Amino acid sequence: MTSAVARAHTNIALVKYWGKRDSELMLPQTDSLSLTLNEFYADTKVEFSAQLTADELIIDGQPVSGKGLKKVQKVLSIVRQMSQINQFARVESINHVPMAAGLASSASAFAALAMAASSAAGLKLARRDLSRLARRGSGSATRSIYGGLVEWHRGVDDLTSYAEPIMEKVDFPLEMMAILLNTEQKKVSSTLGMQHVVETSPYYPAWCEVVQADMQKIKLAIEKRDINEIGHIAQTNALRMHALNLAADPGFTYFNAATLQAMHAIDNLRASGTNCYYTMDAGPNVKVIYDRADRSKIQAALTPLFGADNLVVSQPGPGTVLLDQK
Ligand code: DP6
């Protein structure tokens, strides 16, 4: 095999990953849990070739160098080591996610890369090992190997830190709506934001305890298919993650004015009887968690504020798949 194409969907964490304990192995401080989304994905082609004199990365038709290329090369090097291939690679990726806007584009990108690169190299990795490989590119990518509701075990080392599906085909009407408030590149990358928080936020030890408890609670809520409980846990967990950022030194936030407006709108909607909850990642965009039956009421309330074009509804999505191999 010399080339392969894979498709991976992004995921949004309901219990967040926000801190590493080993940045080389990309081992997280805590477990986390996410929902893979149908609407946002990346298609990535990897080709190993004796003709190339360096690794090449092209995202949405644009050549990428610097940090972006370095992260990709980290994953390629592991694949070369595992497969004994000594060739450079061309990586071409088409993103169906607004880049670096807190819609977790790195999750789909590195999950697709892990599958495409390992397949192009002729490796037949089990999904658990693909999940570990994706992790070396970006933490959240660990979970995008699987569809639906997915848990990432922090583990004790490289071998034990991988994702596992909790419910690959979500059999209850859980839905998510992204409110696109700002699709510009974010100022503080998640990598730097979480590192700064681990180093300077005095709330960090409390966060680790919160996550442990939230993981137990949300798994029970999923078992009961209780969307309100899932939403409540996710919203509280997201606010606590963002509180870490405010309490860092110097403090910072990913929220902008529109983020706060969206948070208030969702809280007001819930107070007036429509159950919905929010979560935010390393960017200003807000994701709404609700029961599919309430979609039109939520759309009707949010459209005048943010515009119909900025509300993107997504169902739970599938895991990473191979589209082509030559
Ligand atoms: C807020 O996976 O983007 O979305 O591992 O440094 O690449 P790196 O960070 P990344 O961080 C995601 C953080 C988050 C929460 C989450 O997805 O769990």
Structural domain count, the chain: 2
On whether both 24 and 140 belong to a single domain, the answer is: yes
Provide mean pLDDT across the span 197-218. 98
Residue 235 lies in a domain: yes
Q: What is the pLDDT of residue 186?
A: 61
* Pairs from 265-271 (Cβ < 8 Å, separation ≥ 24): 265/301, 265/302, 265/305, 269/297, 269/298, 269/301
On whether both 77 and 137 belong to a single domain, the answer is: yes
Residue 209 lies in a domain: yes
Question: 223 falls in which pLDDT band (50, 70, 90)?
Answer: very high
Q: What is the pLDDT of residue 101?
A: 45
Cα end-to-end span (Å), the chain: 6
**Domain at 121, CATH number:** 3.30.230.10
On whether both 117 and 130 belong to a single domain, the answer is: yes
Would you say 147 and 107 are in contact if contact means Cβ atoms under 8 Å apart? no
On whether both 55 and 185 belong to a single domain, the answer is: no
The residue whose CA has the least distance to atom 1 of ligand 1 is 281
Q: Which residue has the higher pLDDT, 106 or 227?
A: 227
On whether both 200 and 298 belong to a single domain, the answer is: yes
> Which value, in Å, is the radius of gyration of the alpha carbons in the chain?
19
Position 100 pLDDT exceeds 60? no
Provide the 3-class DSSP secondary structure of residue 200.
Answer: helix
Tokens of 176: 């998510």
On whether both 140 and 258 belong to a single domain, the answer is: no
Centroid of ligand 1 to alpha carbon of 117 (angstroms): 21
Residue 324 lies in a domain: no
Place of tokens 């309330």: 301
Residue 322 lies in a domain: no
Centroid of ligand 1 to alpha carbon of 282 (angstroms): 8
Give residues (CB < 6 A) around ligand 1: 13, 16-18, 26, 32, 104, 106, 138-140, 190-191, 281-282
Centroid of ligand 1 to alpha carbon of 300 (angstroms): 31
Domain that holds residue 102: 3-170
On whether both 255 and 300 belong to a single domain, the answer is: yes
DSSP codes joined into one string, 243-277: HHHHTSSS---S--HHHHHHHHHHHHHHHTT--EE
On whether both 134 and 81 belong to a single domain, the answer is: yes
Question: 182 falls in which pLDDT band (50, 70, 90)?
Answer: confident
On whether both 105 and 244 belong to a single domain, the answer is: no
Provide mean pLDDT across the span 231-240. 98
Helix then strand then coil, in percent of the chain rounded to 5, is 40, 25, 35
The ipTM value here is 0.99
The residue whose CA has the least distance to atom 6 of ligand 1 is 191
**What's the mean pLDDT when you consider all of the chain?**
95
On whether both 23 and 118 belong to a single domain, the answer is: yes
